[in-house]
Amino acid sequence: MIDTPTVDWLALSPTIALLAAAGVALLSALLAGWMRKSVAGIAALLGFVGAAVCAGVVFDESSTPEVLLEGTMVRDQLAALAQLVLGVTGAVVVLASWSERRRENHAEYYALLATAGAGMVFFVGADNLMTLFLGLEWFSLCLYILVAIDSERETSLEAGLKYLIVGGFGSSVLLFGSALVYGATSELSFPAIAAADASNDAFLYAGLAMILAGLAFKVSAAPFHMWTPDVYQGSPTSITGFMAAATKTAAFVVTLRVLVTAFPAQEDLWTVTVAVLAAISLVWGNLGALAQRDLKRILAYSSISHAGFMLMAIAAFSDRGAEALLYYLIPYSAMSVGAFAVVAARERELNAPVTLDSLAGMGWERPYYGVALWIFMLGMAGFPLTGGMFGKLFVFSAAYDAGDWWLVLLGVAATAVSLGYYLNVVRWLYMRSGAELRLAPAGGSPPRDPALGIAISASVVVTVGSFFVVQPILDVASDAAGSLPF
């Protein structure tokens, strides 16, 4: 008889739900052509919703963190909150991809999407360098294929290749860093690394730096962002939305967890590094976005600058900072998915990449999508009546509290610059006439797409709702932040 570890099935239920959905979606490839898409899509949708529901239950049941599976995973409210956000984001992405024009690959697409979701949901619960790497590769491999899944488009293949090479490099840096940390401490699990007294070991410092760099690739913080604009532009638009929202959420939560639980003793070192990364991301992301014409590239650079804001919260190294990060992720995910969903709608209507020019007059011709994109842009710029404003406010408060007043000033300046491109989008939507461009088929209305409409409505509701219902979200965020040892 072999001793088997006791398994906490509830803690793993979000992952299992998504894996089951992926299996069903994959099997649908065997069905008749007309059934494939609906079966695969509904399976993935149910998987993500199920994962979100399970995560909600786990959140409710885990007021104290609990170590699982021989110290490889942890069940706590931080992971559960991240899983909840990931589940909802994934469900919205499934809705947004429903009417994607795709001749084949429906089953593979939804199966990979659900598997990527399962990987992320697993990743945020990692409590050990091994599971950390496992989770990272798990969802990254799925994403490499998803990025390149529209194999008839050259840009999609190019994006897939770029993402594979740069992402593979990032993963190997992370792996090498993990090896160094293991060498210095002989420990794999995060709390044990913190407990091992190796604070003056150069290997530990090098390992920490490389782990941080590997994670920075995933959150697309400058200067590890080079893949972001090209990959965001080339991927199928719904997948871009998924990467912008879900990958970032997972990677940020894990970054926070690794730094706070495994390296609290090196705090003076990494807070400065993270603050510098934040500053570079803010500067580079915002200046880069100003020069872009393609909407997906603008949003890619904007996601780099948002990474800067969220890193500010991590650099604060306080429960207030963690709360700010977790709050920020919620409206940010909604705005990203929503904005890319509107881009997808325009893309499907015009059958061409969406540049600023192709937004001309859209605000008047497609009032619903126009208002939604307007709200997302204002939200990303941090205007009131959207959760984006409170996100910025909490991040700034946390940074100011931690004494990083220079980062606050930089963040304010970056916000000012960001208006240049966010309001430019609004200008094209409403203040340019689309008549002379003759982009849209004259007099026609866009193809009916209720699933996309629901996806965008859900994003709008979260974006605006998180402005009015701040305290409940903050309570949840503060519970989740409470699972970390500050």
Partner 1 sequence: MWTTALLLLPLAGALVVAILPLPRESTAGLAFLVALGEVALWIAAAGRFDFDDGGLQLGTTREWVESLGISYSVGFYGFSLWLAGATVIVFAAAIGYGMWVGRDRSRAYHALMLFLLGAVVATFAAQDLLLFYVSFEAMLIPLYVLVGVWGGERRQAATVTFVIYTMAGSLLMLASVVAFGVTQGTFSLTESGTSDNVWIFLGFAIAFAVKAPLFPFHGWLPLAYREAPVEVAAVLSAIVSKTAIYGFLRIGIPKFPEPADDLSGLILVLACAGLVYGSLLAFRAPDLRGVIAYSSMAQMSLITIGVFAFDDLGLDGAVLQSVAHAFVSASMFLLVGMVERRCGTSDIDALGGMARGRPSLATVVLVAGMIALAVPGSATFAGEFLIMAGAYQQGWGYSVVVALGIVLAAMYTLRVISAILHVKPGRAVRDEALDLRPGELALVLPLLLLLLGLSVWPALVSESAFAASTLAELLP
In b/e form, how buried is each residue of 154-180, taking b as 16+ CB within 10 angstroms? eebbbbbbbbbebbeebbebbbbbbeb
CB 163 within 8 A of CB 231: yes
Note whether 287 binds partner 1 by CB under 8 A. no
Show contacts with partner 1 in window 465-484 (CB under 8 A). 470-471, 474, 478
Q: Name which position in 31, 287, 408, 437 contacts partner 1 (CB under 8 A).
A: 408
Q: Name which position in 27, 423, 437, 454 contacts partner 1 (CB under 8 A).
A: 423
Instruction: Detail the DSSP E strand segments found in 168-264.
Output: none
CB 291 within 8 A of CB 302: no
Note whether 400 binds partner 1 by CB under 8 A. yes
Note whether 211 binds partner 1 by CB under 8 A. no
Closest approach, Cβ 460 to partner 1, in A, equals 14
Q: By CB neighbour count within 10 A (0-12 exposed, 13-18 middle, 19+ buried), where does 475 fall?
A: exposed
Contact code string over 294-333 relative to partner 1, x by CB under 8 A: -----------------------------x----------
Note whether 464 binds partner 1 by CB under 8 A. no
- Shorter beta-carbon distance to partner 1: residue 155 or 478: 478
Q: CA 318, 319, 322, 327: dihedral to nearest 10 degrees?
A: -140
Locate all alpha helices (DSSP H) within 243-354, ordered by sequence.
Answer: 248-257, 267-290, 295-315, 319-350
Closest approach, Cβ 405 to partner 1, in A, equals 8
Three-class secondary structure of residue 75 per DSSP: strand
Note whether 393 binds partner 1 by CB under 8 A. yes
Q: Name which position in 290, 412, 435, 461 contacts partner 1 (CB under 8 A).
A: 412
CB 210 within 8 A of CB 173: yes
Other C-beta atoms closer than 10 Å to the C-beta of 264 total: 17
Helix axes 295-315, 387-401, angle to 10 degrees: 40
Please tell me the count of residues contacting partner 1 according to CB under 8 A. Answer: 32
CB 328 within 8 A of CB 393: no
Note whether 7 binds partner 1 by CB under 8 A. no
Closest approach, Cβ 160 to partner 1, in A, equals 39
Closest approach, Cβ 360 to partner 1, in A, equals 13
Q: Name which position in 306, 390, 476, 479 contacts partner 1 (CB under 8 A).
A: 390
Closest approach, Cβ 24 to partner 1, in A, equals 40
Radius of gyration over alpha carbons of the chain, in Å?
21
The first and second tokens of residue 9, run together, are 């099935």
Note whether 437 binds partner 1 by CB under 8 A. no
Q: Name which position in 10, 179, 419, 454 contacts partner 1 (CB under 8 A).
A: 419
φ, ψ of residue 214 in degrees (nearest 5)? -60, -40
CB 68 within 8 A of CB 189: no
CB 336 within 8 A of CB 241: yes
> Stretches 71-79, 133-141, 267-275, 418-426: which one binds partner 1 (CB under 8 A)?
418-426
The label of the residue with tokens 């393609």 reads 294
Note whether 355 binds partner 1 by CB under 8 A. no
Note whether 372 binds partner 1 by CB under 8 A. no
> Stretches 124-132, 193-201, 225-233, 425-433: which one binds partner 1 (CB under 8 A)?
425-433
**Which CA distances in Å does 134 have to 171, 288, 443?**
10, 33, 52
Closest approach, Cβ 79 to partner 1, in A, equals 22
- Shorter beta-carbon distance to partner 1: residue 204 or 278: 278
Note whether 110 binds partner 1 by CB under 8 A. no
Q: Name which position in 7, 272, 276, 409 contacts partner 1 (CB under 8 A).
A: 409
Note whether 389 binds partner 1 by CB under 8 A. yes
| CA 384/CA 398 separation, integer angstroms | 19
Going by C-alpha positions, the residue among 196, 320, 199, 215 that lies closest to residue 259 is 215
> Stretches 1-9, 66-74, 264-272, 397-405: which one binds partner 1 (CB under 8 A)?
397-405
Note whether 430 binds partner 1 by CB under 8 A. yes
CB 319 within 8 A of CB 397: no
Q: Which residues bind partner 1 (CB under 8 A)?
A: 323, 364, 378, 383-385, 389-390, 392-394, 396-397, 400-401, 405, 408-409, 412-413, 415-416, 419, 423, 426-427, 430-431, 470-471, 474, 478
